[in-house]
Structure 1
Amino acid sequence: MKALLFTCMLVPWLVAASSRRSDQDSQLIPGSLPDRELNGYFNDHLKSRRARSVVSVADEPDDTAIEAEGDASDLPTCLLCVCLTGSVYCEEVSPDMTAVPTLPKETAYLYARFNKIKKISTKDFVDIVTLKRIDLSGNMISEIEDGAFAKLTLLEELSLAENRLVKLPMLPSKLISFNANYNLLKTKGVKANAFKKMAKLINLYLADNQLEAVPYIPDNVRILHLQNNNITEVNVNTFCRGNDTYYLRPSLSEVRMDGNPVVLSKYPDSFVCMKVLPVGRYR
């Protein structure tokens, strides 16, 4: 009797256990029914999620388009630019940067190249007396107010290359390097004493402009680029001093005058004080 009762209890238990094991195995075997159903669920879920993502993106406002229509002046400088200790990098800013940005007080180096800055006013740098280098190359600057750099007593390097300048403003007297290549400068737009008081000027770049004559060049200049202008003549006072036969210019080591109409061989006495002859047209 006991054996019969035990058998009646054992058989259903074994059948139930076998069924559970079969279900577990079918879930683990790739391609089984539960596995296919699970894969189908995930595929449907992913499709649904992608569909919702596409709809949500389409429904959301285009922030990029809105920004493109704005102006950089509406946003904080250090959100548009990279601000490191003493340095601000604002190159190819989007949305368009059309004016010099407001700078942190301690800025010593400003790189704002390849933007659409059109004008430099006296207020742009009035409070940033710590500036040592300014690079505004590749903008659309056609006007610089006199006095725009007046308070920059520490400024050593200034680049205004690749702009639309027709005249130069008053420049800081302590400049070591000045670059105004690729502008629209004519001789009448460069004051006679523009560089005269720059006792520390070493590099002077005025290539690819419309200058008709060589401006006054300080004694300390080493590299002078005047190529591709409209210079038609030089004289004994251009680089040397006609009334001082003992005057020498040992510092001037590179003078580029190629691409000008002037034939340099016609003015041999104009280079007697120099240790090198200008690069240019001699016949």
Structure 2
Amino acid sequence: MKTLLFTCVLLPWLVAAFARKSDDHSQLIPGPLHDRELTGYFSDHLESSRDRRALPLADEPDATPKQEGTEATDLPTCLLCVCLTGSLPYRNIMTLRRIDLTRNMISEIEDGAFSKLIMLEQLSLAENRLVKLPMLPAKLTTFNANNNFLKTKGVKANVFKKMTNLVNLHLANNQLEAVPFIPDSVRILHLQNNNITDVNISTFCRSNDTYYLRPSLSEVRLDGNPVMLSKYPDSFTCMHVLPIGQYR
């Protein structure tokens, strides 16, 4: 059967917790993504290179569901998945604001995986085995795909184009050969330790608009790439800061 439904081992428990905590769905938990925060959403769009069974981690708590009444604030991160062949009734799934799938062994995510998560603001896919990115929710403010195997051909040209709220974009430690399209809203851009060999005047600025400025872009990391940034001085004229990287 081609389409397999992947869901968290703890998802039934999480769904019940969501139902009891429905008032909290409209609020984004402040602060960065953490390993033990709610990941929440797995569907038939995730494929893992790990055996299709749940394997316990030594530092993870017992996955046995707790007794009713357990506080949702005590939820551990659901890092591993189990393959199911049916569908589950997702309640309030569209109100999720943050998903953390860090440090799994996910090798593929279908384009429709996040299509219903219209309120999603923070998404971490860091430290997986992805070679390409799926289509992403337009309201993301933070996206982290550090430490994967992403190449330029696996990142669609328009994947970030409609993300007018995106502030933090982390694509470090991949295999990108070029800088993808970066929305004007981005403040922090991490592209260190890729295979980027050149930049041009359209990478960050606009070749047809010499008056264009990017005041929001306050940090760009290109260190650890083979590109010699001193060869492209005209490529940074619209920026208030120079990218961090190799100049000589």
User: Could you tell me the TM-score, scaled by structure 1's length?
Assistant: 0.62
Q: Displacement of 1:146 after TM fit?
A: 1.1
Q: Which of 155, 163, 167 matches 2:132?
A: 167
Instruction: Tell me if the contact between 1:111 and 1:135 (Cα under 8 Å) persists in the aligned partners.
Output: no
Q: Displacement of 1:225 after TM fit?
A: 0.1
Residue 166 of structure 2 is matched in structure 1 by 201
Identity %: 66
Instruction: Tell me if the contact between 1:111 and 1:134 (Cα under 8 Å) persists in the aligned partners.
Output: no
Q: Displacement of 1:246 after TM fit?
A: 0.1
SS of residue in 2 equivalent to 1:178: strand
- Distance change (3 Å), C-alpha of 1:118 and 1:216: farther
Residue 78 of structure 1 is matched in structure 2 by 13
Q: Which amino acid aligns with 1:194?
A: V
Q: Which amino acid aligns with 2:228?
A: V
Q: Are residues 1:136 and 2:130 paired?
A: no
Residue 265 of structure 1 is matched in structure 2 by 230
SS of residue in 1 equivalent to 2:99: strand
Structure 1 portions without partners, runs of 5+: 1-71, 99-106
- Distance change (3 Å), C-alpha of 1:228 and 1:156: same
Q: Which moved more, 1:222-231 or 1:81-90?
A: 81-90
Distance 1:214 1:196 in 2: 13
- Distance change (3 Å), C-alpha of 1:124 and 1:246: farther
Q: Displacement of 1:124 after TM fit?
A: 8.2
Q: Displacement of 1:209 after TM fit?
A: 0.2
Higher RCO structure (Cα 8 Å, ≥6 apart)? 2
Residue 210 of structure 1 is matched in structure 2 by 175
Q: Displacement of 1:141 after TM fit?
A: 0.6
User: 1:42-76 deviations in whole A, cap 9, x for unaligned?
Assistant: xxxxxxxxxxxxxxxxxxxxxxxxxxxxxx96777
Distance 1:245 1:234 in 2: 17
- Distance change (3 Å), C-alpha of 1:195 and 1:89: closer
Residue 49 of structure 2 is matched in structure 1 by none
Residue 218 of structure 2 is matched in structure 1 by 253
Q: Are residues 1:187 and 2:152 paired?
A: yes
Q: Are residues 1:152 and 2:137 paired?
A: no
- Distance change (3 Å), C-alpha of 1:74 and 1:176: closer
Distance 2:235 2:216 in 1: 16
1:19-38 equivalence runs, <5 A: none
Query: How many residues are paired up?
Result: 195
- Distance change (3 Å), C-alpha of 1:180 and 1:140: same
- Distance change (3 Å), C-alpha of 1:74 and 1:281: closer
Instruction: Tell me if the contact between 1:208 and 1:227 (Cα under 8 Å) persists in the aligned partners.
Output: yes
SS of residue in 1 equivalent to 2:55: coil
SS of residue in 2 equivalent to 1:142: strand
Instruction: Tell me if the contact between 2:107 and 2:128 (Cα under 8 Å) persists in the aligned partners.
Output: yes
Q: Displacement of 1:78 after TM fit?
A: 2.6
User: 1:94-145 deviations in whole A, cap 9, x for unaligned?
Assistant: 96279xxxxxxxx9xx9736x34499xxx78965111100001000111111
Superposed CA RMSD in Å reads 3.2
Distance 1:158 1:164 in 2: 16
Instruction: Tell me if the contact between 1:111 and 1:136 (Cα under 8 Å) persists in the aligned partners.
Output: no
Q: Which amino acid aligns with 1:159?
A: S
Distance 1:237 1:125 in 2: 46
Query: Which 4+ runs in 1 deviate beyond 2 A?
Result: 72-79, 81-91, 94-98, 110-113, 115-119, 123-127
